[in-house]
């Protein structure tokens, strides 16, 4: 298929940022396309419970919030295209996005809202034992480890939250962290420390994930004593942070050393007509509330750009 479709604005990614950008663009009367390779919702859909997004005093499941955002975006006319964006070509004042099905989406403004994805550790056993005990999704796979010991690798909000979730299912959770203190929010830490099923292995470098046909443990080295040991675990749940999904625009717009897209306060990137919002952007805090704020700015700034350069 070599068909080309024309839009006023193309948005890459249908997480909270992309969906919000689509909502504002659609409501502003623009013909908007949102390109998403998976299900709309992004990382939010994979979050069991969200307690810090305003308007939901009882908290809301990530999946439900994502669905509501999608409905609201569709209501204002933005079209969600299920495809993988493979390539971006800047042609004069047009941005061409080549899709996995061979078709092209053409528009004068582009908003990059591709988010971030869970980082891998890059240790031996991680790839080989994926689906055999290595997991990046506790709510998906926790049930396979009932009454067995598991390890959670990481010390941030996600790691500790998922450790608490897993403790309800498994016999023991060992949180393995490279520092001697957690980075997670105080309120979450308190719950974890009070849970008798959760143990902590502090100041450990992770060397490998052990096991042949399935995970049997995590090999670590103590940073002070340099002593190696294998912490027994049937499952290894990895939550060591995120990395930006910015491969597509590398070389087109400026990014920082880690690959996060650099923008100004209007969410404009180094190339005219291209904006970025949400987790893919260089910033201090990556939260849903921040992503939707970014996205509103990006959509309105992009609309102004289109009007001024008509």
Partner 1 sequence: MGMLREEDQNHLRREFSGKLVNPVKIVFFTQKLECMYCQPTEEILTEIASLSDKLILEKHDLLEDKSLVDQYGIDKIPGIALIGDRDYGVRFFGVPSGFEFTSLIEDIIDVSRGTTGLTLDSREKLKKIAKPVKIQVFITPTCPYCPAAVRMAHQAAIESDMVTAHMVESAEFPHLVQKYGVMGVPKVIINETIQFEGAQPEPVFINHILKAAE
Kindly list the catalytic residues: 137, 140-141
| Per-residue binder mask for partner 1 (CB under 8 A), 1-20, x = binder | x-------------------
| Helix 157-167 and helix 186-194, axial crossing angle in degrees, nearest 10 | 30
CA-to-CA distance for 62 and 35, rounded, in angstroms?
20
Q: How far is the CB of 6 from partner 1 (least distance, A)?
A: 18
Return the bridge partners of 150, or none. Answer: 173, 235
| CA count, 13 A, side-chain hemisphere, 115 | 25
Which one, 22 or 142, has the nearer CB to partner 1?
Answer: 142
| Per-residue binder mask for partner 1 (CB under 8 A), 205-234, x = binder | --------xx--------------------
Q: How far is the CB of 69 from partner 1 (least distance, A)?
A: 14
- Contacts with partner 1 in 254-283 (CB under 8 A)? none
Q: Order across the sheet with 94-99: list the strands.
A: 4-6, 104-107, 94-99, 85-91
| Phi, psi (degrees; rounded to nearest 5) at 187 | -60, -35
Which one, 100 or 309, has the nearer CB to partner 1?
Answer: 100
Return the bridge partners of 204, or none. Answer: 222
Helix (H) or strand (E) holding 4: strand 4-6
Q: Which of 79, 141, 157, 205 binds partner 1 (CB under 8 A)?
A: 141
Which one, 24 or 165, has the nearer CB to partner 1?
Answer: 165
Which one, 49 or 250, has the nearer CB to partner 1?
Answer: 49
Asked if 180 touches partner 1 (CB under 8 A), the answer is no
Q: Which of 83, 191, 207, 262 binds partner 1 (CB under 8 A)?
A: 83
Which of the ranges 8-16, 18-26, 100-108, 287-295 carries the binding residues for partner 1, by CB under 8 A? 100-108
Asked if 140 touches partner 1 (CB under 8 A), the answer is yes
Asked if 150 touches partner 1 (CB under 8 A), the answer is no
Residue length of the chain: 310
Asked if 119 touches partner 1 (CB under 8 A), the answer is no
Handedness of CA 62, 64, 70, 73 (dihedral sign): negative
| CA count, 13 A, side-chain hemisphere, 181 | 3
Return the bridge partners of 10, or none. Answer: 33, 110
Per DSSP, the residues of 116-176 read EEEPP---BTTTTTBTTTEES-HHHHGGGGTTSEEEEE--SHHHHHHHHHHHTTSSEEEEE
Asked if 100 touches partner 1 (CB under 8 A), the answer is yes
- Contacts with partner 1 in 26-55 (CB under 8 A)? 37-39, 41, 45-46, 48
Residues that bind partner 1 (CB under 8 A): 1, 37-39, 41, 45-46, 48, 62-63, 67, 82-84, 100-102, 130-135, 137, 139-145, 213-214, 235
């Amino acid at each position: 298929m070599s068909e080309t479709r024309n839009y006023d604005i193309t948005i890459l990614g249908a997480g909270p940022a992309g969906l919000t950008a689509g909502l504002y663009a659609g409501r502003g009367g623009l013909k908007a396309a949102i390109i998403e390779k998976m299900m709309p919702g992004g990382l939010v859909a994979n979050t069991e419970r969200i307690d810090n997004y305003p308007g939901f005093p009882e908290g809301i499941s990530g999946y439900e919030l994502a669905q509501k955002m999608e409905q609201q975006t569709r209501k204002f006319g933005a079209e969600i295209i299920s495809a993988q964006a493979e390539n971006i070509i800047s042609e004069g004042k047009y941005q061409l996005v080549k899709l996995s099905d061979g078709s092209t989406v053409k528009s004068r403004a582009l908003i990059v809202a591709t988010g971030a994805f869970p980082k891998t550790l890059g240790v031996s056993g991680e790839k080989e034992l994926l689906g055999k005990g290595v997991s990046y999704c506790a709510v998906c796979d926790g049930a396979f480890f009932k009454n067995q010991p598991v390890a959670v690798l990481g010390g941030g909000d996600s790691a500790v939250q998922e450790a608490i979730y897993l403790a309800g299912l498994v016999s023991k959770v060992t949180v393995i962290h490279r520092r001697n203190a957690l980075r997670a929010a105080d309120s979450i830490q308190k719950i974890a420390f009070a849970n008798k099923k959760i143990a902590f292995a502090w100041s450990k470098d992770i060397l490998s994930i052990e096991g042949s046909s399935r995970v049997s443990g995590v090999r670590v080295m103590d940073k002070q004593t340099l002593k190696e040991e294998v912490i027994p675990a049937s499952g290894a749940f990895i939550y060591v942070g995120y990395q930006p999904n910015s491969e597509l625009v590398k070389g087109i717009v400026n990014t920082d050393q880690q690959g996060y897209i650099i923008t100004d306060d209007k969410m404009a990137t180094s190339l005219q007509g291209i904006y970025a919002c949400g987790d893919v952007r260089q910033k201090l805090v990556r939260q849903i509330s921040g992503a939707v704020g970014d996205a509103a700015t990006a959509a309105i700034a992009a609309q102004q750009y289109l009007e001024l350069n008509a």
